[in-house]
Structure 1
Amino acid sequence: MDSSNYKIYHEGEYDSRKGLEGYFSDKPEMVFGDDSIKFPLENLTKTFTDGHITGDILIELSAGSTIHHLYPVCDFFDHIIMLKTNDRCIMELKRWVDERTGAFEWDHAAKHHAELEGKSDQFQEKGGKVRSSLRHVMKCDLKNDNIVDPITLPPADCIIVAWIFEFTSKNQDDFENYLRKVSKLLKPGGHFIVLGMLGGTYITIGKDKFHLFYYDEDVVKNALVAEGFVIDDCQVKKRTAVSDLTDYKGIVFIAANKEK
């Protein structure tokens, strides 16, 4: 397929349930678990248990309807605000929040996180903790200077962006502009965390191929530094999953803090 025919995440019909089943489930044929579940949980758990990142408000912006990366942070923030660019993702997410029949099952991720904490017998409590901390699920538009216009959010102590800029950016200018807009939601001295897929051009969701912006970790680090951030940690995991569903080369985790 010509890459020009790939769909754009926030412009095309992204099927959030198929995205979850294809890249975040516990099905035997799902080969991406080390990258999509274990690597994020391990790095987020270490970052937050180190105790350097605390506060009241955490803003999360990610592609799809994932919640597992909130397991490591829900003990440190009483107010979590999730932003979504896609209505179907909001519907899927609210199905899980409301514990409705047919909601996506995250027990496999909760178990892994509980094992990382040395509390494997308490994994079932994590979902409830995330739900109690998750105060708002809101629609956003990255094209707007204030991405949640007409609402003004209180400045966040921490922002997590996960697998979103590669989906929504058509080029490096988009990537840098989106990062700049999202970082405006952070208070001075706050922390900014990025999870992303490196070196990819497409990802298959159901029967559709979606565009990915091709970038490496230096693109993220340089964009953060240009916005006044100091890089605290950068971890890169090379892809080991064998599949033609997507062509990304690795996963990046970056934690940074905003200079006051």
Structure 2
Amino acid sequence: MSDFTGPDQYQKFFDPKAYLERYFSLAGDTVDEYVHFVLKHLSQVFNSGKVKGETLIDIGTGPSIYQLLSACEAFNEIIATDFTERNREEFKAWLTNQPGAFDWSPVVKYACQLEGDRIPWNEKEDCLRKAIKQVLQCDILKDNPTDPVVVPPADCVLSCLCLESACKDQESYITGLNNISTLLKPGGYLVLVGVLGNVYYMVGERKFSALFLTESFIRESLCNAGYVVEEFVSSEKPDESWEGTAQFSSIYVFVAKKMA
């Protein structure tokens, strides 16, 4: 696509604070459909007892923590990664309790509610902070996405809204998928979260491109990359809440097992 948002533009123009304020500031503690859907299904995935282990690598963490809230009790170590320096700095601001860091407490409280309030929300935050051992730069279009750091293969690779943002076309998506697969042990799980049918999303007043994806294309790509899809769930977009902000048809979660 001619209006593809390239890496230099992400480094220069992606504003993590504007992104968080738009998509994760909850009005009256009410979550939108995307946050509800992802928290609900990731809770089911990571509390199932099947997707667990020593290490989880999150690809394209951005400035966000929501996707890790259930994972932190299923893995002893979490490695967060992102392409842009500003996203990593914003993430570290929350991680180290810096003044002015984004307030995730409403989202954390909601995640705890979905899990039956087994632990207080502040303990959930502490659990996540303790589990995060590294915050690394990541480029999924490199053979080693965490170059120059070499990380041991993980038990789970999680990625939310990353491949469709970083990849210009289907060919580069397949390349990115194969590259992040090198970070995963045989028998480990890849958990992909994103939106289908999207072409753009807004951060502040700036438009960022997105790769148009279909369920069938992702399934085929996973199969060709050596995965068996064990779970797929989706939910149609509520039109009114995303008007003018992103153009997509549905939200999805794929859970796929990497074969030997």
| TM-score (norm: length of structure 2) | 0.93
Tell me which residue corresponds to 1:147. 145
1:36-89 CA-to-partner distances (Å, cap 9, x unmatched) read: x11111111111221111110100012531101111110111110011011110
How far, CA to CA, are the matches of 1:174 and 1:166 in structure 2?
10
Query: Could you say what secondary structure the match of 2:155 adopts?
Result: strand
How far, CA to CA, are the matches of 1:146 and 1:117 in structure 2?
35
Tell me which residue corresponds to 2:23. 23
Change (3 A) 1:153 1:10: farther
- Whether the 8 Å CA contact 2:55–2:155 is kept in 1: the answer is yes
Aligned residue type for 2:190: F
How far, CA to CA, are the matches of 1:121 and 1:94 in structure 2?
24
Aligned residue type for 1:167: S
Residue 32 of structure 1 and its aligned partner are, at CA, apart by: 7.3
- Whether the 8 Å CA contact 2:59–2:138 is kept in 1: the answer is no
How far, CA to CA, are the matches of 1:216 and 1:38 in structure 2?
21
Query: Could you say what secondary structure the match of 1:69 adopts?
Result: helix
Tell me which residue corresponds to 1:70. 68
How far, CA to CA, are the matches of 1:140 and 1:226 in structure 2?
23
- Whether the 8 Å CA contact 1:167–1:211 is kept in 2: the answer is yes
- Whether the 8 Å CA contact 2:61–2:81 is kept in 1: the answer is no
Larger CA deviation: 146-155 vs 208-217? 146-155
Change (3 A) 1:158 1:129: same
Match of 1:240 among 231, 238, 241: 238
Tell me which residue corresponds to 2:107. 109
Query: Could you say what secondary structure the match of 2:211 adopts?
Result: coil
How far, CA to CA, are the matches of 1:222 and 1:244 in structure 2?
31
1:113-164 CA-to-partner distances (Å, cap 9, x unmatched) read: 1111111761121111100000000002223211112221011000001001
Aligned residue type for 1:7: T
- Whether the 8 Å CA contact 1:58–1:157 is kept in 2: the answer is yes
Cα RMSD between the aligned structures? 1.8
| TM-score (norm: length of structure 1) | 0.93
Residue 4 of structure 1 and its aligned partner are, at CA, apart by: 3.4
- Whether the 8 Å CA contact 2:141–2:179 is kept in 1: the answer is no
Residue 253 of structure 1 and its aligned partner are, at CA, apart by: 0.4
- Listed as ranges, the gaps of 5+ residues in structure 2 are none
How far, CA to CA, are the matches of 1:174 and 1:31 in structure 2?
36
How far, CA to CA, are the matches of 1:4 and 1:227 in structure 2?
28
Query: Could you say what secondary structure the match of 1:4 adopts?
Result: coil
Write the mapping of 1:1-260 to structure 2, written as runs, cut at 5 A.
4-5=2-3, 7-8=5-6, 11-12=9-10, 13-27=13-27, 33-35=32-34, 37-62=35-60, 64-119=62-117, 122-242=120-240, 243-260=243-260
Query: Could you say what secondary structure the match of 2:133 adopts?
Result: strand
- Whether the 8 Å CA contact 2:60–2:138 is kept in 1: the answer is no
How far, CA to CA, are the matches of 2:4 and 2:204 in structure 1?
13
Query: Could you say what secondary structure the match of 1:47 adopts?
Result: helix
- Whether the 8 Å CA contact 1:83–1:139 is kept in 2: the answer is yes
Aligned residue type for 1:146: N
- Whether the 8 Å CA contact 2:4–2:209 is kept in 1: the answer is yes
How far, CA to CA, are the matches of 1:218 and 1:244 in structure 2?
26
Larger CA deviation: 101-110 vs 120-129? 120-129
Report the identity percentage.
29
Query: Could you say what secondary structure the match of 1:96 adopts?
Result: helix
